[in-house]
Amino acid sequence: AQSVAQPEDQVNVAEGNPLTVKCTYSVSGNPYLFWYVQYPNRGLQFLLKYITGDNLVKGSYGFEAEFNKSQTSFHLKKPSALVSDSALYFCAVRDGGSYIPTFGRGTSLIVHP
């Protein structure tokens, strides 16, 4: 079985400050972890993924995510937030043997000018 949790419905951050969007997961095998972003009235867009190897994964638009196996977490980060980063962010997990990813409920990121 696989599951993912995004404990925050909303994250507020000032422009220029670092941001973190949290994600924890549970799988029975090897985890494959993904972050997607959804801008208003748009479909989801892929940001980055962890497959294996380096625990720090770099993705699009200056985002990165840190895989922590002991804490079963995959938090999304960015050193300096932009107002244009305001969007809905989804974490997803796939167990190595699964066709189908499980998505979190989403976290709304609001970056204030």
Partner 1 sequence: NAGVTQTPKFRILKIGQSMTLQCTQDMNHNYMYWYRQDPGMGLKLIYYSVGAGITDKGEVPNGYNVSRSTTEDFPLRLELAAPSQTSVYFCASSTTGIGTDTQYFGPGTRLTVL
49 contacts partner 1 (rule: CB under 8 A): yes
21 contacts partner 1 (rule: CB under 8 A): no
77 contacts partner 1 (rule: CB under 8 A): no
22 contacts partner 1 (rule: CB under 8 A): no
Please select the residue that binds partner 1; options are 28, 45, 60, 71, rule is CB under 8 A: 45
DSSP the chain: --EEE---SEEEEETTS-EEE--EEE-SS-EEEEEEEE-TTS-EEEEEEE-SS-SEEE-GGG-EEEEETTTTEEEEEESS--GGG-EEEEEEEEETT-SS-EE---EEEEEE-
Site residues for partner 1, window 90-109 (CB under 8 A)? 90, 94-101, 103-106
